[in-house]
Amino acid sequence: MPIYCYQEGETGRICERVFRIGTAPKFFKEDRRLYTRCFQAENASVPATAGWPFACYASGVNASQAGELRTLLANKGVPTEVTSDGDPVYRDPAHRRKALKARGYVDKSSYR
Protein backbone atom coordinates (compact mmCIF):
# COMPACT_ATOMS: atom_id res chain seq x y z
CA MET A 1 0.00 0.00 0.00
CA PRO A 2 1.28 3.48 -0.85
CA ILE A 3 2.29 6.13 1.65
CA TYR A 4 0.54 9.51 1.49
CA CYS A 5 1.82 12.78 2.97
CA TYR A 6 -0.29 15.24 4.94
CA GLN A 7 0.59 18.71 6.23
CA GLU A 8 -0.75 20.22 9.43
CA GLY A 9 -2.13 23.71 8.80
CA GLU A 10 -0.73 25.70 11.74
CA THR A 11 2.78 24.28 12.17
CA GLY A 12 3.37 22.93 8.66
CA ARG A 13 4.43 19.57 10.10
CA ILE A 14 4.38 16.72 7.56
CA CYS A 15 3.11 13.30 8.57
CA GLU A 16 2.73 10.11 6.56
CA ARG A 17 -0.24 7.76 6.44
CA VAL A 18 -0.84 4.50 4.61
CA PHE A 19 -4.07 4.00 2.66
CA ARG A 20 -5.25 1.67 -0.06
CA ILE A 21 -4.96 3.07 -3.58
CA GLY A 22 -7.89 5.36 -4.34
CA THR A 23 -9.06 5.66 -0.73
CA ALA A 24 -6.73 8.39 0.57
CA PRO A 25 -8.75 11.35 1.87
CA LYS A 26 -7.90 14.93 0.91
CA PHE A 27 -7.80 15.90 4.58
CA PHE A 28 -8.41 14.44 8.02
CA LYS A 29 -8.59 15.59 11.64
CA GLU A 30 -6.42 14.18 14.38
CA ASP A 31 -5.92 15.60 17.89
CA ARG A 32 -8.09 18.62 16.96
CA ARG A 33 -5.72 19.49 14.10
CA LEU A 34 -6.55 19.54 10.42
CA TYR A 35 -4.15 17.73 8.09
CA THR A 36 -4.37 18.40 4.35
CA ARG A 37 -2.85 16.13 1.72
CA CYS A 38 0.49 17.53 0.51
CA PHE A 39 1.29 16.48 -3.07
CA GLN A 40 4.56 18.43 -3.02
CA ALA A 41 5.89 16.31 -0.15
CA GLU A 42 4.72 13.11 -1.86
CA ASN A 43 6.63 13.94 -5.03
CA ALA A 44 9.82 15.10 -3.33
CA SER A 45 12.70 12.74 -3.86
CA VAL A 46 16.21 12.40 -2.60
CA PRO A 47 18.81 12.68 -5.37
CA ALA A 48 20.96 9.62 -5.84
CA THR A 49 24.51 10.29 -4.75
CA ALA A 50 25.88 6.76 -4.66
CA GLY A 51 28.44 6.12 -7.33
CA TRP A 52 29.18 9.77 -8.12
CA PRO A 53 31.62 10.96 -9.33
CA PHE A 54 32.59 8.20 -11.73
CA ALA A 55 34.85 7.79 -14.73
CA CYS A 56 32.84 6.71 -17.77
CA TYR A 57 34.66 4.26 -20.00
CA ALA A 58 31.79 4.18 -22.54
CA SER A 59 32.04 7.88 -23.42
CA GLY A 60 35.83 7.97 -23.19
CA VAL A 61 38.36 8.53 -25.94
CA ASN A 62 41.80 7.15 -26.73
CA ALA A 63 44.42 8.10 -24.15
CA SER A 64 46.21 10.24 -26.74
CA GLN A 65 43.03 12.35 -27.17
CA ALA A 66 42.41 13.02 -23.44
CA GLY A 67 43.70 16.60 -23.65
CA GLU A 68 41.55 17.32 -26.70
CA LEU A 69 38.42 16.06 -24.92
CA ARG A 70 39.22 18.15 -21.82
CA THR A 71 39.65 21.27 -24.00
CA LEU A 72 36.52 20.56 -26.08
CA LEU A 73 34.31 20.21 -23.03
CA ALA A 74 35.78 23.31 -21.37
CA ASN A 75 35.16 25.35 -24.55
CA LYS A 76 31.54 24.11 -24.63
CA GLY A 77 31.03 25.37 -21.06
CA VAL A 78 31.18 22.00 -19.32
CA PRO A 79 34.59 21.76 -17.63
CA THR A 80 35.24 18.08 -17.01
CA GLU A 81 38.12 16.15 -15.53
CA VAL A 82 39.47 13.53 -17.95
CA THR A 83 41.64 10.65 -16.74
CA SER A 84 44.98 9.84 -18.36
CA ASP A 85 43.20 6.92 -20.05
CA GLY A 86 40.78 9.35 -21.76
CA ASP A 87 37.71 8.65 -19.60
CA PRO A 88 35.63 11.69 -18.54
CA VAL A 89 34.82 11.93 -14.83
CA TYR A 90 31.19 12.97 -14.30
CA ARG A 91 30.36 14.66 -10.96
CA ASP A 92 26.60 14.02 -10.96
CA PRO A 93 23.76 13.11 -13.36
CA ALA A 94 23.23 16.73 -14.47
CA HIS A 95 26.92 17.17 -15.27
CA ARG A 96 26.86 13.90 -17.24
CA ARG A 97 23.84 15.00 -19.30
CA LYS A 98 25.44 18.38 -20.11
CA ALA A 99 28.76 16.81 -21.10
CA LEU A 100 27.10 14.23 -23.33
CA LYS A 101 24.89 16.88 -24.93
CA ALA A 102 27.94 19.08 -25.59
CA ARG A 103 29.46 16.21 -27.56
CA GLY A 104 26.22 15.44 -29.43
CA TYR A 105 25.51 12.18 -27.56
CA VAL A 106 22.19 11.04 -26.14
CA ASP A 107 21.80 8.26 -23.57
CA LYS A 108 18.47 6.65 -24.40
CA SER A 109 18.76 4.33 -21.41
CA SER A 110 19.07 7.25 -18.99
CA TYR A 111 16.28 8.02 -16.55
CA ARG A 112 15.94 11.57 -17.94
User: pLDDT digit string (tens) for 54-79?
Assistant: 899 999 999 999 999 999 999 999 99
Report whether the peptide linkage leading into residue 53 is cis, meaning its omega lies within 30 degrees of zero. yes
pLDDT tens per residue, range 19-60: 899 899 998 888 888 999 998 888 876 666 667 898 999 999
Domain regions of the chain by residue span: 3-43, 54-102
Distance CA 61, CA 48 (A): 27
CB 90 within 8 A of CB 53: yes
Q: Are 2 and 18 contacting, i.e. CB atoms less than 8 angstroms apart?
A: yes
Global confidence as pTM: 0.55
